[in-house]
Chain A
Amino acid sequence: QKEVEQDPGPLSVPEGAIVSLNCTYSNSAFQYFMWYRQYSRKGPELLMYTYSSGNKEDGRFTAQVDKSSKYISLFIRDSQPSDSATYLCAMSMEYGNKLVFGAGTILRVKS
C-alpha cells in the first residue's frame, strides 16, 4: 500500500464547475500538507500549504485537512480552462523535510 493515495483521473468538468480533488494517507506522522499544480512538461507550482487539520482559503482554492480520517481535499471554485493541469498532493512529517507525493490527478476543464 502506498503512503499517499490519489486517484489519477482524468477528471473532466465543464467551465464554472466546482472541482473536488482528494488524497488519503496512511502515515499518521504527516503534519504538513501541500497541493501543487503541474502543467505539462513544467515543474510543480505550490498552490496551498497547510499545517495539521483545518481549512485554508486562497482565492478560488480551498484546502481541507482531516487528520482523524487521514484525508485531504482541494476545492476549486469557478473552474477555468486554465486550471487544466495535474494536481499533486504532498505531505511531510514534522522536520522530516522529505515530501511524499500522491500520483497526481489530471484535471480537464472544458469551455
Chain B
Amino acid sequence: EAGVTQSPTHLIKTRGQQVTLRCSPISGHTSVYWYQQALGLGLQFLLWYDEGEERNRGNFPPRFSGRQFPNYSSELNVNALELEDSALYLCASSLVAGLNEQFFGPGTRLTVL
C-alpha cells in the first residue's frame, strides 16, 4: 500500500513569492492534515481538511491556505512568503475524520531567501 506522497521534495523561493505544495493521502483516507516543522519550533498544526471542507486551523496567518479535492488530495498555498516560512511542510492523512492515527508523508522542504 502506497503511503502519503508529497511534491515537490524541495523548493527555493524568494521573499514575497507564492508557493503551492501538494499532497496525496493514503488510498481510502479522507482526512488530510498539514503541519509545519521549522527549526527550533517543532511540529505545529496548520490545517485539517476532510471531505473537501476545512475543519480546523492552527495559529497561522491567513496567507496560509489550502484546499482538498474530490479525490481527497490536497494543496497548501502560502502567499507573500517570509524568511521564517522556511521549514519542512508535512502532510498527514487518517482513515476517517475523528480518528487520531495520522500517517505522515516525507515532507516538502521550503527555503525562502
Contacts and interface: CB of A to CB of B under 8 A. Distances in A.
Given A32-B100, A34-B100, A46-B103, A101 B48 contact: no
Chief secondary structure at chain B's binding surface? strand
A46 B4 CA distance: 13
Interface in B22-37: 31, 33, 35
A32 to B, nearest CB: 4
A97 B104 contact: no
Contacts of B64: none
Contact of B104 (A43, A92, A100, A104): A43
Interface in B71-98: 90, 94, 97-98
Interface residues of B, number: 25
A97 B97 contact: yes
B104 A44 contact: yes
B55 interface: yes
B104 A36 contact: yes
Interface in A89-110: 90, 92, 95-104
Contacts of B105: 43
Interface string B93-113: 010011011111111010000
B11 interface: no
B14 interface: no
What 5 A-B pairs are tightest by C-beta distance, nearest first?
A: A43-B104, A101-B43, A32-B100, A98-B45, A92-B100
30 contacts: A41-B109, A42-B106, A43-B4, A43-B90, A43-B104, A43-B105, A43-B106, A43-B107, A44-B43, A44-B104, A45-B104, A46-B102, A46-B103, A46-B104, A88-B43, A92-B100, A97-B55, A97-B97, A97-B98, A97-B100, A98-B45, A98-B58, A99-B35, A99-B43, A99-B45, A99-B100, A99-B102, A100-B45, A101-B42, A103-B42
